Each structure stands twice: as structure tokens, then as C-alpha cells.
Structure 1
Amino acid sequence: MFERLGLTVALARREIESRYRGTLPGRAWIIIAPFLMLVVYTFVFGHILKSRWGADQDTSSFALTLFSGLLLNTLLGECLSRAASVMHSYGNYVKKLVFPLEVIPLSVVLAGLLNVFIGYLVLLVAMLLLGHPLAWSVLYLPLVLLPFLVCLVGLTFLIAALGTYFRDVGQIVQFVLILALFLSPILYPLTSLPESARSYLALNPLTIPVETVRAVLFGSPLPELSQIVAYHVTAGVLAVIGIGLFMRVKCGFADVL
């Protein structure tokens, strides 16, 4: 078990280093990237488009609220986009019968999680600098992110398995990620939609985590308890399906690659 954990961490480190290899700032991009994203979205949506979550919300509050949701979208996009081709990238490892292939999708999630962790640290620092005091509920942030991570692991394993056999999975994933962004309350408040449409947005894997994260960070209303419970159950089912399918078909990866 500890050997596989070590392999997962090593591969995650390789994923991160390969992403920033050859760049001038190097690993500093892990901090620079979320900071630049916060600045750009603040300027575009806050100053140019004059977007607000509420009539009494200022530009900085809107930017922080927007950024908190974009971080989850970034994590989902990074993991699923990479998962579609990750087994092809590690073809030499796949052909080694003794190598535990399940650590490869896990390393993708771990690498993405590190980037988002840094992003949330940037967000918390920005909240303090912009005069938004941190409530004690921020301590619940890792807990409320847990079901999203479970869901993400399941989806990553599922996409990794399908992407090994079908190259066009990557193209489909990119289209689905665009839909997931615009059909979630990241760029707009959920209350701006008709009541009948809100329940459909709850089917998006981003909706409940985004609303829950904003509740613990900014004190906005939590989703309904029934929706939270349903999301936990669905995340667990997706994890079982994704990991189960991956373990079932991984014996054929070497023949495909």
C-alpha cells in the first residue's frame, strides 16, 4: 500500500514538473497562475461587464465569489482532459505487467488537487487583503470538497479507461467541460434561474460543490439537504463504477497501446 502511495506521489510530481518544465518561473507558476486568473476575471467580469451576484456586492466580492467556483471547474477540467490520454502517455508503464496501473489516474487527480489547493490559499489571502474576514466555517472547506473529490476520482478512472480504447473521448470531454462550466452556477448565481431549472443544474457535478464551497467561505445559503445527500450517494456510485470499469479492462490496455 505504501509503495503504491509513493508511486502515486512520484507520478503526480512528474505531472506537475512536466507542465512547467522549460518555463522561466518554473514551479512558481503554481502560485502565479491562480493569481493571474483572479486578476483577469476581476477585470473582465467586475470592471468591464459590471457583473454582480447581488445589488449590494462590490467588485472584489464578486471576483472572489467567481474565483471560488472557477477553481473547482479548473480541477475538473485538468483531471478529465488529462485522463483522456494519460494511459497513452504512460505506454511504457502500461506494458509492464507488474506496474499498478491504477496509480496513474490517481496521480492525475493528486496533481490537479495540488494546483487547486494553492489556488484556494491565494483566494484566502486575497480575502484578507481585500477586507473580507474569514469565518470559522472556512475550516469545513476540506470536508465539503471531499464528495467532489470522490466524484472526480470516479470520473477520472472512467475517462482514463474509455480514452485508452477510444481516441475521440478527448474531443467529447472538451465539449462536455464547456457545457459543465456554463450549466453550473459559476458565472452566474443560481437564483437568477427559474425555480424549475435549478433542479436540472443540480445534475451537474459542479453545482452542489460550488454552492457548498461558497456557503462555507462567504456565508451564502447551503444547497438543500436532500441535494447534498443525493450528491454524496451519486459521487460514491460514480467512484465505484469508474474504478470498477478501469480495473476490469486494464488487462487489455497493453494490447491497445
Structure 2
Amino acid sequence: MVDASMRAGLFISPWRHRELLFSMVQREVIGRYRGSIMGLLWSLLNPLFMLLVYTFVFSMMFKLRWPQGSGSKAEFALLVFAGLLVFNVFSECVTRAPNLIIANTNYVKKVVFPLEILPWVVLGSVLFHTLANLSIWLVFHLIFFGLPPLTALLLPAILLPLILFSMGVSWLLASLGVYLRDVSQVVGVVTSALMFVSAIFYPASAFPDAYQQLLHLNPLTQVIEQTRDVLFWGVLPDLFAWSCSLLFASAVAWLGFVWFQNTRKGFADVL
């Protein structure tokens, strides 16, 4: 049963516990590189290395090109990187979600601790690294193509449905991971497969016509395409498509949150 406090919690909980949330995000980001010589610099080097690998494999070995572009390797690299920015937000959130409660069992025993903010902590850490990756993208765009189009300012709005969708799935998986330990293995396989059917290394228009509708059933496809449109091509997003995506993502976030709040009562017994 969904009471008024639960309905409000989706929006109020992260704000009410914002100081705790910020502190945990900060600790998450710093702790990820604690003990390493290069520290936070790895947040820039890791995506840069992967960008070079993907660019070499797909643009040089497989000779892939964007139909509407100039065909340069720099262009291909930036378009792929834009897709990876989107995918990595979703991928890291959902792959960590199944073990999120299990890895924080000490919080489960604390009645006053707001367990529902744990997925927000992961998201905060992911968005920090996304900003670092975006800075790399902007530097390379400045070097090879100059200033990005003004439509790039719309990127936060484009990513909003992705963030809500990722949170909803994270709450669902965080709860399921407590009761079904195999969930993390399944999620790992699914996200790996999803990477190659999300129009990251190719435009959606390059997908065979017979499977176009199937490709667009993937909620990541539209966000990736719209991200490229605003960041690189200077094309305004389709307002109707964006609104539908936002409504769908909001519903997923709401359902995931309700599921989490209704199942959290059994966490202590299982753990």
C-alpha cells in the first residue's frame, strides 16, 4: 500500500538528507581512487583510453563511418564518445544496484537511515565522472571542430529521462538483489549485450529496417540519438518524443521507488 509519506519520499528524501547525500557522494568519488598514485586523474584517463580503443576498432579496423558526417576519425570518436556518456550513466547505476544493499548491511540495521538514498549516492558519483568525461569531449571538440553548437546547453534536459529511468531500475534491482543473489550476474550479461544494441557505435538509421522498431524499444536509443543531436549536429530534440520519454521514465522511477519502499521491510531478516 502506498501512503502519503511514500509518495512524498521520492522527491523529498534526497533533499531532506542532502547533506548526508553530498557527504556520501564525496566519499564515494574519493574512495574509488584512494591509494592510487594518480588519484582522480584516472576519472579522465579511463574514458580516454576506452575512447581510443573503440575508435581504433570500429573506425580503423571495421571502417565504420557516420553517413551524414565528414567521415573523419575525430568525428567518429566524438560521436561514439557521446553515446558512451549516455550508456555509462545507465550501465554503472544498474550494474551496481543489485549489490547496493548487500554491501551496506550496516545501514540496514539502522532504523533511521534512509536506505532509499543509496541509489542517489551511486548516481551522484556517476554524474561526477560523466562531467569529467564531458570535459574531455569538449576539449577534443574544440581542438577539431571549434565551439559546440548552442543546442549543447540542452544536454541536462536530454539526460533527465535517462536519470529518472536509471533510478527506477536501480531501486528495483537493489531490492531484488537482496532476495535473489543471481540478479547481479543477469544484469551484467544484459548490460553487456545492451551496449551493442543501443546505437552507440552506429547511428540508429544504420540498423536494418526490419529491426528499426525493435531498436527504438530500447529506451537508451532515443537519449543517445538526442545527445548526439544537441552536442554535435546542432539539432533541436523532438519535443513530443522527449515528453513521452520523460513520462515513461517518471513512471519507471515511481514504480521502482514504491517497490523498494514496500520490500525494504524484509531486508534485515534476509541479511
Q: Say yes or no: TM over 0.5.
A: yes
Give the counterpart of 2:88 among 67, 74, 83.
74
CA shift for structure 1 position 50: 2.2
Give the counterpart of 2:199 among 169, 180, 185.
185
Distance (Å, rounded) in 2 between the aligned partners of 1:170 and 1:22: 27
Secondary structure of the structure 2 residue equivalent to 1:96: coil
Give the counterpart of 2:70 among 56, 64, 74.
56
| Aligned counterpart, 1:155 | 169
What CA deviation, in whole Å up to 9, does each residue of 1:101-147 have, x standing for no partner? 11111101111111111111110111001234311111111111111
| Aligned counterpart, 1:256 | 270
CA shift for structure 1 position 188: 1.5
CA shift for structure 1 position 88: 0.7
What CA deviation, in whole Å up to 9, does each residue of 1:193-229 have, x standing for no partner? 2334222212212101100100101127667555433
| Aligned counterpart, 1:44 | 57
| Aligned counterpart, 1:108 | 122
Secondary structure of the structure 1 residue equivalent to 2:17: helix
1:8 and 2:25 matched: no
Contact kept? 2:151, 2:234, Cα under 8 Å: no
CA gap of 1:50–1:195, structure 2 versus 1, over 3 A, is: closer
Distance (Å, rounded) in 2 between the aligned partners of 1:185 and 1:19: 29
| Aligned counterpart, 1:30 | 43
What CA deviation, in whole Å up to 9, does each residue of 1:23-70 have, x standing for no partner? 221122112222222222222222333221127321100010001001
Secondary structure of the structure 2 residue equivalent to 1:102: helix
Contact kept? 2:29, 2:125, Cα under 8 Å: yes
Distance (Å, rounded) in 1 between the aligned partners of 2:87 and 2:17: 28
Contact kept? 1:208, 1:223, Cα under 8 Å: no
Distance (Å, rounded) in 2 between the aligned partners of 1:166 and 1:220: 45
CA shift for structure 1 position 95: 0.9
Structure 1 residue runs of 5 or longer lacking an equivalent are: none
Q: Tell me how many residue pairs correspond in the alignment.
A: 257
Contact kept? 1:202, 1:227, Cα under 8 Å: no
Distance (Å, rounded) in 1 between the aligned partners of 2:238 and 2:206: 17
Q: TM-score, normalising length from structure 1?
A: 0.93
Distance (Å, rounded) in 1 between the aligned partners of 2:185 and 2:194: 14
What CA deviation, in whole Å up to 9, does each residue of 1:69-106 have, x standing for no partner? 01111121111111110111110011111111111111
Contact kept? 2:150, 2:234, Cα under 8 Å: no
Distance (Å, rounded) in 2 between the aligned partners of 1:45 and 1:254: 47
State the AA in 1 paired with 2:215: L
Matched-pair identity in %: 37
| Aligned counterpart, 2:3 | none
Distance (Å, rounded) in 1 between the aligned partners of 2:221 and 2:237: 9
Distance (Å, rounded) in 2 between the aligned partners of 1:169 and 1:177: 12
CA RMSD in angstroms comes to: 1.9
CA shift for structure 1 position 14: 2.5
Distance (Å, rounded) in 2 between the aligned partners of 1:206 and 1:74: 11
- Greater CA deviation, 67-76 or 224-233? 224-233
State the AA in 1 paired with 2:51: L
Contact kept? 1:211, 1:223, Cα under 8 Å: no
Contact kept? 2:168, 2:253, Cα under 8 Å: yes
CA shift for structure 1 position 244: 0.7
